[in-house]
Amino acid sequence: MTDPQSAAAVAAQRLGLVQASTQRMLETVSGLKPDAVAEPSALPGWTRGHVLAHLARNADSLVNLLTGARTGTDIPQYASEQARDQGIEDGAGRPLDAQLADLRESHERFAEAAALMDPEDWAAEVRHRSGAVFPACDLVWKRLGELEYHLVDLDADYTPARWPEEFAVTEFHKLALKLHGTDLPAVELVAEDTGDRGLIGSGPASLTVQGPVRALLAWLSGRSDGSDLKRTPDTALPQLPPLG
C-alpha cells in the first residue's frame, strides 16, 4: 500500500514538471506555421495534427483515471481502443488555433482534476489502458512522458537535447530496466555527463555504448538511431524493439 502523504508529495513535485512541459509544448506549437499541422510528424502514419490531438485526448483520459481514484469508481481511461483511435483521427485535421485551444483546455481539465485529489486519492490504484496497475500519483509522470516524447515527435524545433535532466535520467533507468534480461545482446550503457549506467539484454556485455544521457534515452526510446553514440568496440548497435 502506497503511503498517502508520500504519494501526494510525489504528485505535487511531478505536477510542476508537467506544467513546465505543457508550457514548452504550447510555445512550440504556437511557433508552427498554420499549414504545418497537416505535415508529417516523426511518427509513421501520423501528421503533427495526430500528435496534438492525441496529447489533448490523453489529458482527458487521465482525468478519467484521476476521477476514478478520487471517487472510488472504476472509470476506464478510454471508452474503448476504437474510441481512442477515433478521437485522434477526428481531431487531427483541425486548424492550428483549434489545436492550441484544445491543448490548453485539456491541460486545464487535467490540472483541475489533480487539484481535487486528497493524499489518499493519490495512493489509490488505477488501471492504465495497457493493463498496468499503479498508484494514481504515477499518472502525473505518465503525462510528463507523453508531453516530452511527443514534443520530439512533432519534428519541430524541440529535440532530445532539450529534455529536462530529471526526465532524461529517470526514463533512461526505466527503459534500460525494461530491456534488461531480454533476448537482446548485452550492452552496457554509460552516460558520460551524469555518470548514470545501465545494462540491457542478457549475458555478459560485449559492447559498451557511451554518450550524454539524453542521447542514450533518445536511442532507447526510438527517437534516434544511436549514430551519435560512442561504441566500444566499434560494432553495430543492436536493433531495439519498439517500446509501448
The residue behind cell 554518450 is: 211
Which residues in the chain belong to E strands, given as ranges? Answer: 125-127, 133-135, 180-191, 197-211, 230-232
Where in the chain are the domains? 4-158, 165-232
| CA separation, residue 226 to residues 77, 87, 232 (Å) | 34, 33, 13
The predicted-structure confidence for 48-77, as pLDDT tens digits, reads as follows 999 999 999 999 999 999 999 999 999 999
**Average pLDDT value for the chain:** 97
Strand pairing report for 133-135 and 180-191: unpaired
The predicted-structure confidence for 105-118, as pLDDT tens digits, reads as follows 999 999 999 999 99
pLDDT at 225 over 70: yes
CATH 3.30.1050.20 fits 165-232, yes or no: yes
Q: Tell me the percentage of the chain whose pLDDT exceeds 70.
A: 99
Cis peptide before 119 (omega within 30 of 0): no
pLDDT at 242: 83
For 187, residues 6+ apart whose C-beta sits below 8 A from its C-beta are 199, 200, 201, 205, 207, 208, 209, 237, 238
Q: Which amino acid is at 96?
A: L
Residue 20 pLDDT level (bands cut at 50, 70, 90): very high
The residue behind cell 481511461 is: 77
**Set of cell numbers at residue 129:** 489502458
pTM of the model: 0.97
For 50, left (φ over 0), alpha (ψ -120 to 50), or beta?
Answer: alpha
* CATH number for region 4-158: 1.20.120.450
